[in-house]
Amino acid sequence: MLLPALFQCLVPLLSCDGWDIMTIEKLGDKAAATGYHPIQKQMVKLGGTQCGFCTPGMIMHMYSFLHERSGHGPRPKPSAQQIEDSLDGNICRCTGYRPILDVFKSFAVAAAPTDFHFDIEDVPLCAQSKKDLVGAQVEEEFELLHHEVAKLLKCKGEGEIWIKATSLQDVFDAMRQFSFEKVPYRVVAGNTSTGIYKHDEGGVRGFIDILNIHSLSSYVVTSDEIVLGSCVTIATVINVLTAASEALHGFEYLEGVTAHFKRVANTSVRNVSCDVFLP
């Protein structure tokens, strides 16, 4: 499975088995043969960073956003509005966002000068900064990450057991085993409910990770129905329902459903949290 930008604080270490994780250091570095990545260079060039605390996360978010779009075949470059919407989960405490948005919007298709925001100090408009923004592009071809075939994983820690299932049969076997041994257990998908619903986790010692089960993370769209597995991420649901509302007769009402989904959490959470909603 290809997972885009996530909040690392919500990801259990054992969930990462088989993942290919890229950090800001891998993306680009002055010591690397290829130097800094175009997004990093653009961040510096357009003054999008101040204290720098949020900068790596912002850049990785943008990289993931562009990478994900290139991973689904030819698709138009994002619009300035799509880029702005995708940044709903990243917080900056000192730039006021305007320069960061300007950096990222420079990767949008046909970014118009009106897509950029200006500080009050910029009035009258500063020709120098605007000239650099319009039409900037990432030249790089994004590579798809290499993925291993998912395999069943069982890990035992101090009194806790983590099982990464690859089939529904694995899940039922694990449930049966935990029940038999009277081990309180929990199914884990995106794990984003952690911290929000703490009472959910009290005393749990068995964990059944279901993210690697293909049948749960698949979906089917036909002319008269859409079937979503319970591990399809909210981000994917938004994409699938948006496409259906635009292309399929009788599914136009899904535009309103996707508008609601876009209000749940933020991009980095929706990228991994599944469509099983909490009460």
Ligand X SMILES: Cc1cc2nc3c(=O)[nH]c(=O)nc-3n(C[C@H](O)[C@H](O)[C@H](O)COP(=O)(O)OP(=O)(O)OC[C@H]3O[C@@H](n4cnc5c(N)ncnc54)[C@H](O)[C@@H]3O)c2cc1C
Q: Give min distance, CB of 187 to ligand X, in A.
A: 4
Under the criterion CB under 6 A, does residue 42 sit at the interface with ligand FES? Answer: no
Of residues 208-267, those binding ligand X (CB under 6 A): 210, 216, 230-231, 264-265
Under the criterion CB under 6 A, does residue 95 sit at the interface with ligand FES? Answer: yes
Residue-wise DSSP of the chain: -------GGGS-GGGGTT-----HHHH--TTSTT-S-HHHHHHHHTT--SS-SSHHHHHHHHHHHHHHHHTTSS-PPPPHHHHHHHGGG---SSS-SHHHHHHHHTTSTT--GGGS---GGGPSP-HHHHHHHTT----PPPPPPP-PPP--EEEE-SS-EEEE-SSHHHHHHHHHHHHHTT--EEEESS-TTTTTSGGGGTT--EEEE-TT-GGGG-EEE-SS-EEE-TT-BHHHHHHHHHHHHHHSTT-TTHHHHHHHHTTSS-HHHHTT-BS----
Q: Which of 77, 98, 186, 262 binds ligand X (CB under 6 A)?
A: 186
Q: Give min distance, CB of 229 to ligand FES, in A.
A: 37
How far is the CA of 28 from the CAs of 24, 32, 103, in angstroms?
7, 7, 17
Under the criterion CB under 6 A, does residue 200 sit at the interface with ligand X? Answer: yes
Q: Mask: binding to ligand FES, 62-91, rule CB under 6 A, as x and -? A: ------------------------------
Q: Which of 11, 87, 92, 241 binds ligand FES (CB under 6 A)?
A: 92
- Could you tell me which residues are beta bridge partners of residue 187? 208
Q: Indicate which of ligand FES, ligand X, none lies near residue 92 (CB less than 5 to 8 Å, by partner kind).
A: ligand FES
Q: Indicate which of ligand FES, ligand X, none lies near residue 276 (CB less than 5 to 8 Å, by partner kind).
A: ligand X
Q: Give min distance, CB of 108 to ligand X, in A.
A: 26
Binding span for ligand X by CB under 6 A among 11-19, 21-29, 59-67, 182-190: 182-190
Q: Which of 50, 129, 167, 239 binds ligand FES (CB under 6 A)?
A: 50
Under the criterion CB under 6 A, does residue 177 sit at the interface with ligand X? Answer: no
Q: Which of 191, 212, 217, 236 binds ligand X (CB under 6 A)?
A: 191
Binding residue count for ligand X, defined by CB under 6 A: 22
Other CB atoms closer than 10 Å to residue 244's CB: what's the count? 21
Residues at the interface with ligand FES (CB under 6 A) = 49-55, 92-95
Residues at the interface with ligand X (CB under 6 A) = 186-193, 196, 200, 210, 216, 230-231, 264-265, 269, 273-274, 276-278
